[in-house]
Amino acid sequence: MFTIFMTLEEGLELIENYKKGLQKFLETLPEQSVQLGSEMIKILTMNSKNEIANLEAIEKALKREPKYESGLSE
């Protein structure tokens, strides 16, 4: 099994980069309407916006101060 550890800052940066990629995708979607069709554009737009909202919720949760100590640290 392979485990990856990252800092909070690295995780937040990763989320921010992914959000930027999704936003860029949304910007270029209208150019693809002829090839994809309007229904597919609507679906991709809705899915991308939902994904951005999910990422923002994750960011908010990660930035929030913990309300209690778990007792699991050293």
Q: Say which residues have a Cβ less than 8 Å from residue 16's Cβ, sequence separation at least 6.
A: 59
Q: What is the pLDDT of residue 24?
A: 95
Which structural domain, as residue segments, surrounds residue 51? Answer: 8-63
Q: Is residue 2 part of a domain?
A: no
Q: Is residue 12 part of a domain?
A: yes
Q: Does some domain include residue 36?
A: yes
Rounded Cα–Cα distance for residues 63 and 9 (Å): 10
In a domain, 48, yes or no: yes
Q: Tens digits of per-residue pLDDT, 7-65?
A: 889 989 999 999 999 999 999 998 888 898 989 999 999 999 999 999 999 999 988 87
Q: Classify residue 40: in a domain, yes or no.
A: yes
Predicted TM-score (pTM) above 0.85: no
| Structural contact between residues 55 and 19, judged by C-beta atoms closer than 8 angstroms | yes
Task: Indicate whether 73 belongs to any domain.
Answer: no
Which parts of 1-74 fold into alpha helices (H)? Answer: 8-28, 33-36, 38-63
Quick check: is 16 in a domain? Answer: yes
Counted domains in the chain? 1
- Please report whether residue 68 resides in a domain: no
